[in-house]
Amino acid sequence: MDRELLQSKSTVPRAGGDALAHSLPAVSNSSRTVACRPKTHVVFLKVHKSASSTVMNILFHFGETHHLTFALPINGASQLGYPHYFLAESVEGFTLGNASAFNIICHHMRFLQAQVQKVMPSSTFYFSILRNPIRLMESSFVYYKGSSPFSPAQSLEEFLSQPARFYNSSAPDSHYAKNLMAFDFGFNHNGNFSAKHMQLMLQYIKEAFDLLLLSEYFDKSMVLLKEALCWDLDSIVSFPLNSREGSTGSALSESTAEKIKSWNRLDWAIYRHFNRTFWQRIDWSMGREHMQQEVRVLWERQEQLAKTCLQGGERGSIGPRELRDKSLAPLQHGKATILGYNLKPGLDKVTERLCLRMVTPELQYSRSLYRRQFPEKAQQIYKPAHPPRIHNGIMD
């Protein structure tokens, strides 16, 4: 079996802040019955189009407020060598033997476990988030419309009616159109896997990752993550980032959905398996009723914070043309309209800093972290045509 099928058979060893702004009331960890130490060595495999930008922001926010060190892409890049396999050398500041220098890795990469283990210590917690391949492919078609498989097709239905007419398996961007999750996990997205190979793929993911979350159940996923990392509730409160305007979505027929599952059979196998284990984990770790209680507390906290931070409160997401601060504009890609946020004016400095972190798009936030960790090199890489805007110490 080749490298693209199972990579390395070595497994990941198991692992054994700031509060929100002072103007917000404190929240207790209702589910915490036994003292535990927060995990601060974390690998997040950022699977495309699966609410992963929001999770990335949570990790950015936690890491920055707790003065942790990120394994950032070399030369201020936005991805860790993607779509090539991850290499330890793609991390800025990496040298052999300095794995303890990094706390969090969360930028896009094509997972290669042996290389990640060179960067991160053995106590690291590994997790990722999945999405139903039906909705993932619909989103990918819109977001990656400029990719070679999708650009000639007038619609997703047309692409799926005759994939061979549009799809070239050797194209360097073919992964956006077929088994994108399997590709991100490091497998051959064009592989004709047997049932045995499919089982080995699932077993490999199970052994390599401590937790697999589901974007369709994002709030439940965040509660599971909070419990697994021994973080407090405030550390996993978020606003959706890199989300599409609802009008750009489309309803799919049952026939189209079945074609997507067949075309993405590796992704469908991954999703079905870890959908089951997701609910099993809830059942044995806390139970459905307790989970719903935790989710309600999370909802209340998010609503409270949205009212504090966002112009428009809970429904604060807006299109790019409505953004007052263009330095907070998210990247617009493909045919999708990506939403952003306007902060309320007149916030005190502590609250504004908190709120700003939560609405800063990933590219801007990543640059800010790079500047903090590598200030001298950042000056050479980021040469703005005009003076950078600074919000309470965060440079855009």
pLDDT level of residue 337 (50, 70, 90 thresholds)? confident
Mean pLDDT of 102-106: 97
Token couple for 130: 């999945």
- Rounded to the nearest integer, the mean pLDDT of the chain is 86
Q: Between 237 and 385, where is the model more confident?
A: 237
Question: Is the pLDDT score of 9 beyond 60?
Answer: no
In a domain, 31, yes or no: no
Backbone phi and psi for residue 129, each to the nearest 5 degrees, phi listed first: -135, 140
Nearest in space to 359 (alpha carbons), one of 249, 248, 243: 243
- The residue behind tokens 């949205």 is 306
Can you tell me the mean pLDDT for 120-142? 95
Number of domains in the chain: 1
Model confidence band, residue 333 (pLDDT cutoffs 50, 70, 90): low
Whether the bond between 83 and the residue before it is cis, its omega within 30 degrees of 0, is yes
Angle formed at CA 34 by CA 32 and CA 35, multiple of 5 degrees = 95
pLDDT tier for residue 329 given thresholds of 50, 70 and 90: confident
Structural domain of 238: 3-25+36-395
Contact 88, 70 (CB under 8 A): no
Give the pLDDT of residue 68.
97
Is 77 a domain residue? yes
Note the pLDDT tens digit of each residue in 180-203: 999 999 999 999 899 999 999 999
**390 pLDDT tier (thresholds 50, 70, 90):** very low
The C-alpha atoms of residue 151 and residue 169 are separated, in whole angstroms, by 15
Q: At what angle do helices 288-309 and 218-229 cross, to 10 degrees?
A: 100
Whether residue 30 lies inside any domain: the answer is: no
pLDDT: is 336 or 270 the higher one?
270
Q: What is the pLDDT of residue 13?
A: 36
Given a cut of 60, is residue 5 above it in pLDDT? no
Question: Which residues sit opposite 45 in a β-bridge?
Answer: 128
Q: What is the DSSP code (8-state) at residue 18?
A: -
Q: Kindly report the pTM of this predicted structure.
A: 0.87
pLDDT tier at 69, thresholds 50, 70, 90: very high
pLDDT tens sequence across 290-324 = 999 999 999 999 999 999 999 875 567 888 788 88
- In tens, the pLDDT along 107-119 reads 999 999 999 999 9
Q: Is 97 left (phi over 0), alpha (psi -120 to 50) or beta?
A: left
Q: What are phi and psi of 125, to 5 degrees?
A: -95, 125
How many helices (H) does the chain have, and how many strands (E)? 15, 8
Q: Say if CB 131 and CB 271 are below 8 A apart.
A: yes
- Choose the weakest-confidence range: 86-90, 215-219, 325-329: 325-329
77-97 tens-digit pLDDT:
999 999 999 999 999 999 987
Q: What is the pLDDT of residues 22-33, one digit of tens each?
A: 334 344 444 444
Tokens of 234: 């405030």
Pairing of strands 42-45, 125-130: parallel
